[in-house]
Chains A and B, each alone.
Chain A
Amino acid sequence: MTTFEKIQEIIVDQLDKEESEVQRSTNFREELEADSLDLFQIINDIEDEFDIKIESEEGLTTVEDLVKYVEGQIES
């Protein structure tokens, strides 16, 4: 499973959406109507899944932002 697929799975599960609705370019707040509690829950699950720490949700607007952030953390 790629980083994107894992993150997609977490978002689908958390927000109760279809996979097709969660693509790389998808915007959390505008397209998925996620509020800050949703975002923090997604971040929590991602932290547990990848064993990383996401210090701030700032700049994480789309799914792609999240994928890039996680990949950057895993590489470092």
Chain B
Amino acid sequence: MDKKTIIVTGSTRGIGKAIAAFFLDEGHNVVINGRKDLSDDLMDYFNAFDGTVHVINGDISDSAFAKKLIKDTRKHFGSVDVLVNNAGITRDNLAIRLSDEDFDATLDVNLKGTFYTSKEAAKVMLKQRSGHIINMSSVVGVAGNVGQANYAASKAGVIGLTKSLAKELAPRGVLVNAIAPGFIESDMTDQLTDEVKEKALTTIPLNRLGKVEEVAELAGFLSNQKYITGQVFHVDGGMVMNG
């Protein structure tokens, strides 16, 4: 199998970490990105895989950093084959209590950050005449959620961005898709009370939370296929079903 270069934004924990681990386990070059320095334990964890790790920390909501992320990756590994836009934040509150700052901050990282990195990666991929961009949306971006107007808007925006990019980049063989995870076991869901978890389970036909590895496997599949673009894939145990 060809060794690819994969950037995973927000890959120091949760779904991003699992996606990075998945590609490292397959022996690829993986750029790890977070906003803070990685702990020694985390570096040891990533370095234990067959693939090659390169860390580029910074905030993707800063367009200058997004440019640097792509440029440095290309300089270090020579190409950018897959970009996984995973970095995201939540600032939950009911819409009538949601501050302008919290709305903007969520859009800045989740939507604008995804645009900034995609734009720079697209320039490289167009030239290569190949590449995959995989954007992390959410079921919330499709179905909405109480207390998450900002997050839902940003993740719905990611879907529109995904489909537009898919159409623009298709003529050069660059494929763009989105993944919409539902309730996935992570640091975020660990903090939920048992009562909230029980309630969440009643909305999931498969009656369990998802695993980060199940999202990572889909990212792996998407990075290998050549005839799927502009699609949104739900990994949500059947929570939201589209016709």
Contacts and interface: CB of A to CB of B under 8 A. Distances in A.
A30 interface: no
Give the size category of A's interface with B: under 10
A41 B127 contact: yes
Nearest to B127: A41
Contacts of A1: none
A65 B168 CA distance: 26
Nearest to B126: A41
Nearest to B123: A44
Nearest to B168: A37
Majority secondary structure of chain B interface residues (helix, strand, loop or mixed)? helix
A11 to B, nearest CB: 13
A35 interface: yes
Contacts of A44: 123
A41 B129 CA distance: 12
Contacts of A41: 123, 126-127
Most-contacted residue by chain B among A14, A35, A37 (CB, 10 A):
A37
Interface residues of B, number: 6
B171 A35 contact: yes
Nearest to A41: B126
Interface string B101-128: 0000000000000000000000100110
A35 B168 CA distance: 12
Interface in A27-54: 35, 37, 41, 44
A37 B172 contact: yes
B68 to A, nearest CB: 14
B171 A37 contact: yes
A14 B126 CA distance: 10
10 contacts: A14-B127, A35-B171, A37-B126, A37-B168, A37-B171, A37-B172, A41-B123, A41-B126, A41-B127, A44-B123
Interface of B: 123, 126-127, 168, 171-172
Given A37-B126, A37-B168, A41-B123, 7 more contacts: A14-B127, A35-B171, A37-B171, A37-B172, A41-B126, A41-B127, A44-B123
Sort A-B residue pairs by CB-CB distance and give the 5 closest, nearest first: A41-B126, A44-B123, A37-B171, A37-B172, A37-B126
